[in-house]
Structure 1
Amino acid sequence: MFRPQRRHAIAAAIAMACSASPVFGQTPWPSQPLKIVVGFPAGSTPDLMARLLAEPLQQALGQPVVVENKTGAGGNIAADQVARATDHHTIGLMINGNLTIAKILNPATTYDPLKDLTPVSLIATSPLVLTVPASVNTSGAAYFAAARQSGDKWNYGTPGVGTVAHLGMELLKAKAGIAPVHVPYPGNPQVITALLGDQIQMSLLPPGLAMAQVRAGKLKAIGVTSAGRSSVVPEVPSLAEAGVKDLQLEIWNAVAAPNSLPKAHVNRLATLLTEIVRRPEIRQKILAQGWQVAGTSPEGLANRIRVDTAAMADVIQKNNIRPN
């Protein structure tokens, strides 16, 4: 007769084997290559993040993992493709806007983030850096005092209407009591060029873009939009240190799936992705790109989506922001 400990060990081993194996008659998942759809071009942050995840995810799943770039509409074309997928082998690497305010900003958006997509895992987050020309000779509270005095004579640049940088600046204006005028550009490279040429006075930029210019002495960082200092750019103070209270804003990348993907597959992907991004070598690569690892459960990402959707929807409605 087996000892109690022996019986328990055998029962645990059987349970583990059953959970790892498909039920008889069911096809193992994934049964074909898994596709990660990215709404931005090769070399963009979402693209780099997806390709960083693809190889270890492929090793864990035992099936090829391919990245497909489907650009346009700020990533919403790709998000729509994911939302409509029914093959159980299509997921997306998306940014904030695709999973939060896409439908609120533009009612004509062909998918509803909250109804058509299933959260899988929040991959990485980053604050934005309030960046100004190198010619600015003030910082901290003195900078905001000068901004308030200048009123609408100052301008700020963003990579477009409805972007996180745009909504974040409108939120900053309300919190700091400043009134710079919005100047939209085709993308952040053009925003940086305008800052370098003193054509605009400020912008909220991702650390990966801003800090190369700041460290070269070509631009100046006033503060980050996180609640405190960020591990991504620990040398830059938070805007709270400059007297701007109750402002917390981050950009983020996340993996989402169509609602058609079974919950068991969603949970498996979330567990694998969380383990992958927390590996020291992967964490370091993500940090080098200007991001802080998150790695959450589907429920963690769903909560983040709810909170950010409410905050950004409030900014959109109060400022009557609509896409061009």
Structure 2
Amino acid sequence: MTTHLMRRTVLALALAAVGTTALAQKAAKADADAAWPTRTVRILVGFPGGSTPDLVARTIAEPLSKALGQPVIVENKPGAGGNIAADMVAKATDNHTIGVMINGNMTIAKLLNPATPFDPLKDLAPLSLIGTAPLLLTAPANAPGNTAQEFIAAARTAGNTWSYGTPGVGTVGHIGMELLKTKTGIDPVHVPYPGNPQVINAMISGQLQLALLPPGLASPQIKAGKLKAIGVTSTGRSTLVPEYPSLDEGGVRGFQLEIWTAAAAPATMPKPIAAKLSRLIGEIARSPEVRAKLFQQGWQTAGTSAEGLANRIKADTALLGGVIAQRNIKVE
């Protein structure tokens, strides 16, 4: 055998060995993905217990655990309008950590604050849009006015002596109220809280004069006579709370806004695992039992594919990003 032929033979054997190793590694990875999960799956929520994202996460956790054959636990990591938990999800490398998040965490977090340690469009993998809902402009029970027009007139007169609460800078409640300010000429001062339950308590105690709240949280307090409904942020009455008029119906024209909650994974999660989670979460959300629970919590069930959530992220990033630019909203 010539030296040249020997070299070619050795090279061919080396390449064959590399190819065999690559195929073996690929097969091993496929087996690992198929065997997933191998331990407890964590759902991180960026808001306190009792908040709407927390309730949603706990609603899907049990059926997801049954479907996966492993425990699924919910961990609350409140702060920064939900971005602390979102950042933890984005940086998770264990392939067993996902998050249940709100609009702001998955759309305008980086636009609002360039120093945000994660980029929702690059570092998070959309799994499923779980539920959507309009917001309900809410005030203390003794608030002035019996219609949206009368209340807005009183708020306009009060100027910056009134305050509104939100579950954090950059949340939809915050951006939505800033949008409402541009449409109505009101000028209440923003006061952020850890979550909407704290906003409700502050409004009941008279520390706040208004807030845009999820209907599922606000409605029980309104029915108990502790808060007053001013109007829903939908073009017509919402099926979630048909007893309350829309702001548009009350004279605030063209004001439409939704909150939503969705599941996301780290962008580094293997695609087969993310696809499995996306399919299961969507199916769970659309199941009759979970759909009924979500409705009671104040959500219109979506249960979309990952692609459906990605499309919603794109649309909302444009809408909310426009308000941020117009109102020059920044994290203080």
Fold-level similarity (TM above 0.5): yes
Shift of 1:168: 0.7
Letter in 2 for 1:88: N
1:283 and 1:236 map into 2 onto residues whose CA distance is 22
2:204 and 2:37 map into 1 onto residues whose CA distance is 51
Shift of 1:190: 4.5
- The 3 A distance-change label for structure 1 pair 49 and 320 is same
Structure 1-normalised TM-score? 0.84
- Which residue of structure 2 aligns with residue 41 of structure 1? 48
Shift of 1:160: 3.4
1:77 and 1:139 map into 2 onto residues whose CA distance is 38
Letter in 1 for 2:38: Q
- Which residue of structure 1 aligns with residue 38 of structure 2? 32
Contact 2:235 2:249 in 1 (8 A): no
Shift of 1:155: 3.5
- Which residue of structure 1 aligns with residue 59 of structure 2? 52
- Which residue of structure 2 aligns with residue 128 of structure 1? 135
Q: After the TM superposition, which residues 204-223 of structure 1 pair with which residues of structure 2 at under 5 Å, given as runs?
A: 204-223=212-231
Structure 2-normalised TM-score? 0.82
Shift of 1:152: 4.2
Q: Secondary structure at the match of 1:254?
A: strand
CA offset digits 1:188-213 (Å, max 9, x no partner): 34433443354543221222332122
**2:84 equivalent to 1:77:** yes
Contact 1:224 1:238 in 2 (8 A): yes
Letter in 2 for 1:32: T
Q: After the TM superposition, which residues 1-324 of structure 1 pair with which residues of structure 2 at under 5 Å, given as runs?
A: 26-27=31-32, 28-33=34-39, 34-135=41-142, 136-185=144-193, 187-324=195-332
- The 3 A distance-change label for structure 1 pair 216 and 295 is same
Q: Secondary structure at the match of 1:241?
A: coil
- The 3 A distance-change label for structure 1 pair 72 and 137 is closer
Contact 2:130 2:260 in 1 (8 A): yes
- Which residue of structure 2 aligns with residue 17 of structure 1? none
- The 3 A distance-change label for structure 1 pair 93 and 315 is same
Structure 1's unaligned 5+ residue stretches are 1-21
Shift of 1:29: 3.7
Contact 1:30 1:63 in 2 (8 A): no
Residue-pair matches, total: 303
Contact 2:234 2:257 in 1 (8 A): yes
Q: Secondary structure at the match of 1:92?
A: strand
CA offset digits 1:32-77 (Å, max 9, x no partner): 1233222233443323322221221122223332333333323222
Q: Which has the larger radius of gyration?
A: 2
Shift of 1:150: 4.5
Letter in 2 for 1:298: A
2:76 and 2:162 map into 1 onto residues whose CA distance is 37
- Compare 228-237 and 61-70 and name the one that shifted more: 61-70
- Compare 82-91 and 277-286 and name the one that shifted more: 82-91
1:66 and 1:194 map into 2 onto residues whose CA distance is 30
Letter in 1 for 2:282: T
- Compare 253-262 and 225-234 and name the one that shifted more: 225-234
Letter in 2 for 1:90: T
Contact 2:81 2:168 in 1 (8 A): no
Contact 1:83 1:116 in 2 (8 A): yes
Letter in 1 for 2:31: Q
Report the RMSD for the aligned CA atoms in angstroms.
2.4
Seq. identity, %? 63
Structure 2's unaligned 5+ residue stretches are 1-25
Shift of 1:233: 1.1
1:171 and 1:190 map into 2 onto residues whose CA distance is 23
- Which residue of structure 2 aligns with residue 13 of structure 1? none
Contact 2:133 2:259 in 1 (8 A): yes
2:50 and 2:179 map into 1 onto residues whose CA distance is 29
- The 3 A distance-change label for structure 1 pair 137 and 245 is closer
- The 3 A distance-change label for structure 1 pair 185 and 52 is closer
CA offset digits 1:101-133 (Å, max 9, x no partner): 111112111110000111010011222111122
Q: Secondary structure at the match of 1:122?
A: strand
- Compare 155-164 and 277-286 and name the one that shifted more: 155-164
